[in-house]
Amino acid sequence: MQPRKFLTARRLVLLASVAGLGAAVIFAGAGGYSAGLPAWTSPASAADSTLQHPSGFADIVAKVKPAVISVRVKIPASDTDLLQQNSDQDGIPLQPGSPMEKFFRQFGDQFGNGAPHRHETITGEGSGFFISADGYAVTNNHVVDHAKSVQVTADDGRIYTAKVVGTDQKTDLALIKVDGKSDFPYVKFADHAPQVGDWVVAVGNPFGLGGTVTAGIVSARGRDIGAGPYDDYVQIDAPINKGNSGGPAFDVDGNVIGVNTAIYSPSGGSVGIGFDIPADTVKTVVAQLKLSGHVTRGWLGVQIQPVTAAIADSLGLKKAEGAMVDEPQSGSPAAQAGIQSGDVITAVNGNAVKDARDLARTVGTMAPDSTVKLDIVRNGETKTVSLTLGTMPDRQKQANAGSEHDRIPGGVPHLGLSVAPASEVEGAGQQGVVVTAVDPDGPAAEQGFQAGTVILDVAGKAVSTPSDVRQALADAQASGKHQVLMRVKMGDATRFVALPLGNA
């Protein structure tokens, strides 16, 4: 079966080559570039039948390929279940059918076929690259996680034993070290972020074939694929496949713009959607791994959510930007500084916060014990709060974003809700009102309300009876608001939801 798969891969490569040639012919007459790589030159005249082909990436590849390595690991068979368990922790939730779930199932290390016996080891392969002459190299955390041993194969075919210096699950990065030499070829990280449309060259070890080069362009930046709280991926269309994990992507100057980490693919092969950890993130993480073997991050201690257009309208904000505080965690730096539920954090140290993800990334790049100033909007007023960041705990409970809910008819006509005092419903607690029924066609159902959801306050006012809810809604409508903001508890998570008022 394996040779058959290999033959199929070869046939696909040949077809891709033919398709690529066709594209080159089409672009040959579309205009020329006199500098940069690659470059096309149009014919001197319509009668000139000689087409100038792309000059290619040969010079770049010759410069960088010696620094790219194949990473081969042996993992105890007893630990393979832990790989999946760990991938569900520390900010890398793998929801069934999500891009990252498919990635870890299809794209990651190339484990051997067949069910292993209890005491066997499994061999996997990935890619990496040297970043210093003394043997430090970067790869993905999932490539070396739980590795019993690590070997790297250099571009010249020489094999070396490597040790794992440190790993970071949250960004899926690892730093490894080969000892005994001080003249390894290495590459440098780019000083500037790539722009959409820039050329990119990916080098790695796809399918265990050996060093392979592909090229394309940067398709997008700032991609969030649900891998963790610090998602900020560079999307590229240079084909990357199984075994490219941990390999570098280069700009036309031969500098690393990112680390190949994930693909979106229904089959495990490239369909032109690949994701790279950006160089700036890699540099920051690798520096800490080299220093201490692990990464420490600043901790604010809040559950946050994006500010939607509806929430912005209900709060009177001009733009749907910033991060809304669902709830400060007890004893956290945020709680000690007086941050409250409903506050919207709009800036950190004077730098605007675009959304909740932006806030998480910003704070996560700061060192514990750093003093920061947060600009917040509370009840329509802008305030500045100073606090000292804590150290992010090793295990963070992720906010439960809710799920699809059972929907049953009932209730308050303009919201589609029926409520009762929480104190009268067993297990609902003593605060707020509990939703007893939801109209499937009402606005509350569209926002994920379900029977059992507890409403803690409406438009900033605490509620404990159905009449409190109705009065808060009437007051909000009388003040001319089109949306009403509710603080609700769904399961173990507290969040804010904006509902359209409509007609009472």
d(Cα 450, Cα 463) in Å, to the nearest integer?
A: 18
Are 113 and 221 found together in one domain? yes
**Residue 105 belongs to a domain:** yes
Are 85 and 200 found together in one domain? yes
Angle at CA of residue 319, ends 318 and 321, nearest 5°:
140
Q: Which runs of E-coded beta strand occur in 88-148?
A: 121-130, 136-139
Handedness of CA 105, 106, 109, 115 (dihedral sign): positive
Number of domains comprising the chain: 4
Are 41 and 116 found together in one domain? no
Are 108 and 241 found together in one domain? yes
**Residue 397 belongs to a domain:** no
Q: Which amino acid is at 67?
A: A
Task: Classify strands 212-223 and 199-204 as parallel, antiparallel or unpaired.
Answer: antiparallel
Q: Which runs of E-coded beta strand occur in 357-491?
A: 371-378, 381-388, 390-391, 417-421, 433-438, 454-458, 461-462, 483-490
d(Cα 186, Cα 131) in Å, to the nearest integer?
A: 5
**Residue 409 belongs to a domain:** no
375 is a catalytic site residue: no
d(Cα 76, Cα 268) in Å, to the nearest integer?
A: 24
3-state secondary structure of 252: coil
The active-site residue, picked from 109, 145, 172, 237, is 172
Last residue of a domain, one of 56, 83, 99: 56
**Residue 162 belongs to a domain:** yes
d(Cα 238, Cα 273) in Å, to the nearest integer?
A: 8
The active-site residue, picked from 87, 245, 341, 418, is 245
d(Cα 77, Cα 389) in Å, to the nearest integer?
A: 40
Domain holding 51, by residue range, is 2-56
Are 369 and 436 found together in one domain? no
What pLDDT was estimated at residue 211? 80
439 is a catalytic site residue: no
d(Cα 67, Cα 42) in Å, to the nearest integer?
A: 35
Are 138 and 67 found together in one domain? yes
- Closest C-alpha among 359, 363, 382, 381 to residue 372: 363
- DSSP H helices in 95-254: 99-102, 141-144
Are 319 and 285 found together in one domain? no
What pLDDT was estimated at residue 195? 95
d(Cα 236, Cα 222) in Å, to the nearest integer?
A: 12
Are 49 and 93 found together in one domain? no
Are 111 and 21 found together in one domain? no
d(Cα 169, Cα 35) in Å, to the nearest integer?
A: 41
Are 374 and 468 found together in one domain? no
Are 261 and 377 found together in one domain? no
Per-residue pLDDT of the chain (504 residues; tens, 9 = 90+): 322 232 222 222 322 333 333 332 222 222 333 334 444 334 343 444 444 445 789 999 999 999 999 999 988 765 544 444 433 333 334 444 444 444 444 444 443 444 444 445 667 789 999 999 999 999 999 999 888 899 999 998 999 999 999 999 888 999 999 998 999 999 999 999 999 999 999 998 876 677 889 999 999 998 877 666 677 899 999 888 778 889 999 999 999 999 998 877 666 566 778 899 999 999 999 999 999 999 989 999 888 888 888 888 888 888 889 998 888 888 899 999 999 989 999 999 999 998 888 898 889 888 899 999 999 999 889 999 999 999 987 643 332 222 222 222 223 446 777 788 887 776 777 788 888 777 666 777 777 888 788 999 888 888 888 888 888 887 887 777 778 888 998 877 888 888 887 644
**Residue 23 belongs to a domain:** yes
The active-site residue, picked from 70, 109, 127, 142, is 142
326 is a catalytic site residue: no
Are 321 and 357 found together in one domain? yes
Angle at CA of residue 245, ends 241 and 251, nearest 5°:
85
User: Which value, in Å, is the radius of gyration of the alpha carbons in the chain?
Assistant: 27
CATH of the domain at 434: 2.30.42.10
d(Cα 152, Cα 70) in Å, to the nearest integer?
A: 5
- Closest C-alpha among 467, 456, 438 to residue 497: 456
User: Which secondary-structure segment (H or E) carries 214?
Assistant: strand 212-223
